[in-house]
Amino acid sequence: MLSRRRFLVTSAVAAGAGAVPSALAAEQNQRFVAEEPRDWGAVRRQFELDPSYIHLGLFFLSSHPRPVREAIERYRQQLEANPLHTVESLVFSDPRNNITTKVCTAIASYIGGSADDIALTQNTTTGLAVIYQGLPLKPGDEILTTTHDHFVHHEAIRLAAERGGATWRKVPLFDAYDAISADQMVERLQKAIRPSTRVVGVTWVHSSSGVKLPLRRIAEALAVVNRERAPERRVLLVVDGVHGLGVEAPDIVAMGVDAFSAGTHKWMFGPRGTGFVWARPEVWSGMRPFMPSTSSAELFYAWAGGRPPEGPARANWFSPGGFQAFEHYWAVPEAFAFHQAIGPQRITERIHALNARMREGLAKLSHVTLYTPRSAELASGMVCFDVRGMTQRQVVQRLFERYRILGSTTPYALSYARVAFGIQNTPEEVEKTLAAIREMA
């Protein structure tokens, strides 16, 4: 079996079947760069969005920009023409050159980490399960989280706690949306930590309200706690980062978190059904895989040799194995290159400016209750609000039926109307949305 695989890999690569891209991401973005990415109109033209609508829900599931669409189609054609050789040459080639490594390298170059510390997943939900189910939790251990996190984050924690015999607890970071401060959120988390607390799980940007957590400060507060603990008892900071990735500054690794899960198919405009987990090497080494992976040669050779794999565990042991939507995974680098062609800082500034304009406009309307903080320190790319005398569903329905504005409601026990302006949107669309809500008085 090993000889067959080596033969297939060698012959396929030699034949050039599905050549491994060394600079495909940059190559696919050349035409976009030539159109001058500083022009937001050129950015908008990269997406095949229906121009008859104002799209304010693209954070939910993004439209693919042209370089990503073309990469998906190119790989799809290769798979249709020669599936065996394409997969063998791109996936099972030398780890230093195969496309899985290329994908992890593209992600790592954006977030500031190492490709060796990235596991590839299908979405944020799968990534959170990989992290929490992989942690060596046991009776007496506790996971601390907040009352503001999404259903899937709470479920990932609950299932892992039950499996390991651990406990978990939720605390509020604030009591009212008009009285939120970074100091208060950090202090509440720090004070809630007990001797049994092994993990703190938080969300970078809350899709329930648009509130952005001060992750770096939370990490610094946990570092103070960990100075008094033995290495094996240190508190880990686990982050659901999907609504910060692609909006905020991408220096995720430098923020001091221990594990980070995100899908790439929201603000990053990546292929649908793709995501990743980044974690510190020492975190991966202490975790236990709970599903087979086909991303590690060590695991395969250990199985073939009838021996256990030689530890410690590494990130690629945790990438869910089996056949995937390969053409989507392989096109991930183009999404990250698209962001880098525009400039992450410019993207952050654009998204913040549009959403700040929306928040300020809503704050002036007496029939509107704004829940997202007006401060840029505590807000990101979403704006959540209520209109007096209307349910959140009625607000979203009115926007859609009368004005062709696509908003959404927050999928939480306490739900609000929600809009989000990305780099595909314009200041004129902000004003049109404000005018529509103004008419709801």
Lowest mean pLDDT among 23-37, 166-180, 262-276, 308-322: 23-37
Query: How far is the C-alpha of 412 from the C-alpha of 406, rounded, in Å?
Result: 19
Tens of pLDDT along 44-84? 999 999 999 999 999 999 999 999 999 999 999 999 999 99
Query: How far is the C-alpha of 357 from the C-alpha of 374, rounded, in Å?
Result: 10
Element (H, E) at 356: helix 344-363
Whether residue 365 lies inside any domain: the answer is yes
Write the CA distances from 248 to 14, 131, 292, 397, 410, integer angstroms.
42, 23, 33, 30, 21
Tens of pLDDT along 349-390? 999 999 999 999 999 999 999 999 999 999 999 999 999 999
Amino acid at 129: A
Average pLDDT of the residues in 144-150: 97
User: What does the block give as tokens for 287?
Assistant: 């975790």
Whether residue 322 lies inside any domain: the answer is no
Tens of pLDDT along 307-337? 999 989 999 999 999 999 999 999 999 999 9
Write the CA distances from 193 to 159, 173, 200, 229, 398, integer angstroms.
21, 13, 8, 12, 44
Whether residue 397 lies inside any domain: the answer is yes
Strands 197-203 and 142-146: parallel
Q: Domain range for residue 348?
A: 344-438
Half-sphere exposure of 317 (CA within 13 A, CB side): 23
Contact by Cβ (8 Å): 421, 70: no
Contact partners, residue 322, CB within 8 Å, separation at least 6? 292, 294
Position 31 pLDDT exceeds 80: no
Amino acid at 404: R
| The pLDDT value given to residue 168 | 98
Whether residue 105 lies inside any domain: the answer is no
Percent of the chain's residues with pLDDT above 70: 90
Whether residue 356 lies inside any domain: the answer is yes
**DSSP states of 88-100 as a string?**
HHHHSS-TTTSHH
Write the CA distances from 221 to 186, 200, 258, 372, integer angstroms.
7, 11, 13, 24
Whether this model's pTM surpasses 0.85: yes
- CATH label of the domain that carries residue 426: 3.90.1150.10
Instruction: Give the length of the chain.
Output: 441
Average pLDDT of the residues in 83-100: 84
Find the distance separating the first CA and the last CA of the chain, reported in whole Å.
71
Whether residue 29 lies inside any domain: the answer is no
Whether residue 44 lies inside any domain: the answer is no
Whether residue 349 lies inside any domain: the answer is yes
User: What does the block give as tokens for 395?
Assistant: 């607000």
The three-class DSSP label of residue 368 is strand
Give me the number of domains the chain comprises. Answer: 1
Position 399 pLDDT exceeds 60: yes
